[in-house]
Structure 1
Amino acid sequence: MKKSLASLAILSTFVFSYNTSVSADELDTSEGKSQITSKDGEEDGVNDSSTVQTKVTKISDKPIDELFSTQGAGEWDYIGESDFARKSKVFTSGGGDLKIYIYQPYLGPGFQWKYHLKEEDPTFDDTVSSFNLSNEEGTYQVEFNVRSYTDGNNGNAELYLLKDTNPATIVQTEWFD
């Protein structure tokens, strides 16, 4: 019986570790860093989290692709989309304000959604902002001031979202700079 319990504990640890790990498909290269960041250079930015001022607004109960959005000159520039379970694609921002639309489902009582906006660097990724979203189905607009996270030779911030909770559930995102 003790062997069975020990085997079960080892197996459950392996399964948990496997389910929460980032797959190679979610990374831009086999080394785990994007090609953009590898050209970033040694210089790190100011990285002042007090200037980020994360602003979260629920804008709709509908998925992102059902929303109508008009983007004009001088407004927000669309930089891409990423549907992911654990880690989004890496997006390049010239600094200033960043807006991300996040669509997530309702998972039932007891769940929560915890995210981290990260800035990718060659040696250590910086946490720009950590935030939680309500466990409600819908699309959320999340805005950040990422000015202090631009760095390197290219003067850009290389940003991605990391989802800490519900690693089996895919969320949709659209990114604007």
Structure 2
Amino acid sequence: MIFKKISAMIAVVAASLLMPSASFADDYQAQFWDYIGSSTFTDQSSVAKSSGGSFKFTFKSASTAVNGTYWLWEEDPDGFQYVGKVTVKDGGGGEFYNVGGFVDGSNNRAEFVLTKDNSQQTTVNFYNFST
């Protein structure tokens, strides 16, 4: 009898620990990169609007991966601001951290574009990570 009660209590505790709470689910989802667009380009990508935090690009597929140096710029009406550069090897893409300082304007976004050191066509996906 006591064994059945203890077993039942353990089962209830275990079940309650396995159920994710809404706040846990929100925190868990916040740990992922948010897709914010894609661009097919040879010299300069289209604009990707980022809310700050961190920014990354990946190649849409292995067939569109182009190794080389990629520069990230923030586009403003008065020109471009240099954000950073990354050298891509083996089609890995690139990540840029702490880009919140480039968020500006009435839309409260940073308008990022990529340029690269070659004229081969590529397709990239853009992602934003905000905390």
Aligned residues: 96
Opposite residue 145 of structure 1, the aligned amino acid is N
* 2:121 alignment partner in structure 1: 170
Q: 1:1-177 maps to which residues of 2 (within 5 A)?
A: 73-74=29-30, 75-102=32-59, 104-105=65-66, 113-134=68-89, 136=90, 138-163=91-116, 165-167=117-119, 169-177=120-128
TM-score (norm 2): 0.64
Opposite residue 127 of structure 1, the aligned amino acid is Y
Q: Which runs of 5+ in 1 are unaligned?
A: 1-71, 107-112
TM-score (norm 1): 0.49
Opposite residue 75 of structure 2, the aligned amino acid is E
Cα distance in 1 for partners of 2:52, 2:118 equals 30
How many angstroms does 1:114 deviate by? 1.8
Q: Which runs of 5+ in 2 are unaligned?
A: 1-27
Opposite residue 52 of structure 2, the aligned amino acid is G
CA contact (8 A) 1:100 1:143 kept: no
Cα RMSD after superposing both structures: 1.9
How many angstroms does 1:131 deviate by? 2.4
Q: Percent identity?
A: 32
Cα distance in 1 for partners of 2:66, 2:45 equals 17
